[in-house]
Amino acid sequence: MNTSVRIAPGLVLKNPVLSASGTFAYGEEFSRLFDLGLLGGIVTKGLSLNPKEGNPLPRVYETPCGLINAIGLENIGADAFISGKLPELRSFGTPVIVNFFGSSEEDYALLASRLDVNGIAAIEMNVSCPNVKQGGLEFGRDPEVLFRLTGAVRARTGKPLIVKLTPMVSDIGAMAQAARAGGADAITCANTIPAMAIDEHTWRPVLGNVTGGLSGPAIKPVALKLVWEVSKKVDIPIIASGGACTWNDCVQFLLAGASAVEIGSASLRDPLCFTDIITGIEHYLESRGLDSVTDLIGKLETP
């Protein structure tokens, strides 16, 4: 059977299962546990122009149905990644998709240009970041701002451009349309949901940053609806991100309109879940008599 999916010109994944930005870091730890060549794609930890330290500890808190993180986008910076991490990632023969972010349109454009190197198959732009030149409003909350940002980045790179949307908007379909109009090749839908945890014994927040982003099974129904909404608004591929833990979850996201699915928090609990998910999707296709994973994409039957 054919499990490959096309995400953008020049970007074809051998299967629809990817790592998610953040939880997979730069792949080093996971590469000691299984062959990263099995994945459809490797999405790296978010990169900035310069190294970033991140938020104060504690940074992670487990909830009954998910995980709250306040890492603060800590990373080694683009240059250190290209010289120190990318060579090993390239060796697995799996497309490397680099997540990146900035605090101004100029940051994003310069970083996209810096990442336009051999070995990087595509770039995933995180727009859930405050625009320091526009009063701190996130880039992904204003369609006009997102349109201009996507266009500026598109002009600086020849790589396939994926825009990772924030779920914290009233109309995510409009944001997807703005990214599409600006030149995005694909959409990742979506990011974590703002959350917090409180210690009733100390009367203090659990996280050093007070608030963080909720991921894991708790947000899957929300992410599923967002993918479905976006699929009705744009004609470019969608990568689902949010709460997928099993092959069943992935099949549901594909039916809702996604072409691929990122696995995040689940991989922290079980790093080998990727192999189970990929095998599970294959067995599901076989059981349904389907020849290709594309036979599932967007096939949700609604009343």
Over the Cα atoms of the chain, what is R_g? 18
Q: What are phi and psi of 212, to 5 degrees?
A: -155, -160
Residue 106, both tokens: 């100029």
Long-range contacts of 147-152 (CB under 8 A, 24+ apart): 147/178, 147/179, 147/181, 147/182, 148/105, 148/182, 149/105, 149/108, 149/125, 149/182, 150/125, 150/178, 150/179, 150/181, 150/182, 150/183, 150/184, 151/182, 151/183, 152/105, 152/108, 152/109
Give the number of other CB atoms < 10 A from CB of residue 107: 18
Active-site residue, from 129, 245, 250, 273:
129
Q: CA-to-CA distance for 112 and 159, rounded, in angstroms?
A: 9
Give the rounded distance of the alpha carbon of 48 from its chain centre: 16
Which of 251, 273, 268, 274 lies closest to 66 in space, CA to CA? 268
Residue 129 annotated as catalytic: yes
Catalytic residues: 129
